[in-house]
Amino acid sequence: MAGKATKKQALANQQALSTLYKASLPLIFVSLLRTWYCNSGKSPLIKIISLHIPCIICIYTLEKTGRPTYDSKGKLSTVGVDLAQSGGLTDIMFDVIYLSLIADVGVILFNTLWLWWICGIAVVGYGGYKLWALKNMLMPSSPKTPKAKSTTPSEPEKSKRQMKREKRGDKVQIKYR
């Protein structure tokens, strides 16, 4: 029973990487082939290769950090980063890869890079949104001061317990010995 969770995570990481390769490599190859075959000159091919650089970097990073390693006896030595985690850098890398593959489908079907530019703008916009949220989390804005001062000082809100005590305070209480 010892190490069952690590073995399960290692198997899940291997399956995730296998699925990633089965989905990404054929699409990338076909989009490069379509660009090379349908467009004359090296400029479109250089453009599409340079647009694939972030996708390739993400695949390489996921491979290096997520692939489990085994020793010479076949025992699991390192599990790797959990590729099924959500909300972290791993999730963002998978999103970049999936957007690249969607753009590759656009290249295959329509022979244009417009979907690449739309996905690029979406990635930059999403990154800006995340950075803005991080900035607001790390450096909260100062509280706003009221423009006009009121003549009556505002009292802090009272809790229910305080309100009940004040309400009971008006009643005459009888103490028994």
Output the pTM of the full model: 0.70
Query: 159 has which bridge partners?
Result: none
Task: Give the range with max mean pLDDT: 16-20, 83-87, 121-125.
Answer: 16-20
**Residues 6+ away with beta carbon under 8 Å from 93:** 58, 61, 62
Distance (Å, whole) CA 78 – CA 150:
65
Domain parsing of the chain, residue ranges: 4-138
**pLDDT, tens digit, for every residue of 82-119?**
998 887 888 889 988 999 999 999 999 998 889 888 98
Task: Give the range with max mean pLDDT: 2-16, 54-68, 115-129.
Answer: 54-68
pLDDT for 109 equals 92
Distance (Å, whole) CA 177 – CA 75:
78
Q: Cα torsion for 25, 31, 36, 41, to the nearest 10°?
A: -120
